Amino acid sequence: MPKVDRRIAKSQEALKKALLELMSEKNFDEITIQDLSDRANVSRGTIYLHYQDKYDLLDKLIETHILELRRLCADAAEMDYIESTLICTDYFEHNFSFFSMMLASKGAPYFRNRYLDFLIEEFGVEVDVLKGKNKGLRKDILVRFVSAAYVEVVEWWFRNERPIPHEELAKQLGELLERNL
């Protein structure tokens, strides 16, 4: 992997941080390139050097976190649901500002859909509808049901400013996954 110039990395990080800050203040649709430029203390040209527009910036920011979640899930493939969910909730805890903005605000429904699609893909591998309690159920319906419920619980956790520790959230979600998958 080629080494990224520190100035480029610094500009990109400043823009991602500026985007999150601005999204906490106003709706994404109201954010302008000039707002981003001013907040990140970079020129408009610098923004367009790295991103096509604010949607591309948001997409790259989201993709970074989805890829990391995918990597964490791959690392946790041999763990039980509680242990693997703990890895995810720990990541949520350490990236609270991003996830709370993306899941608890109305500013980024696009992230919710991407996150839901990610979970559908991940849980789709786990579901067996040929035996046990799920016998006879349609796999696509079961996977969508469990994924949507998971997203809703995580959103609840962020909207309510972490009413329980992330370890407890992982335990509860893990047990629910074990019962349903």
C-alpha closest to that of 18 among 6, 33, 2: 33
Helix segments in the chain, DSSP class H: 6-25, 33-40, 44-50, 54-75, 81-94, 96-104, 109-126, 139-159, 166-180
Position 1 pLDDT exceeds 60: no
- Residue-range domain boundaries for the chain: 1-51, 62-180
User: pLDDT tens, 131-141?
Assistant: 788 888 999 99
CATH of segment(s) 1-51: 1.10.10.60
User: pLDDT tens, 5-50?
Assistant: 899 899 999 999 999 899 888 888 899 999 999 999 999 999 999 9
For residue 108, name the pLDDT band (cuts at 50, 70, 90).
Answer: low
pTM: 0.86
C-alpha closest to that of 170 among 96, 94, 85: 85
- Dist CA 76 CA 108 (whole Å): 28
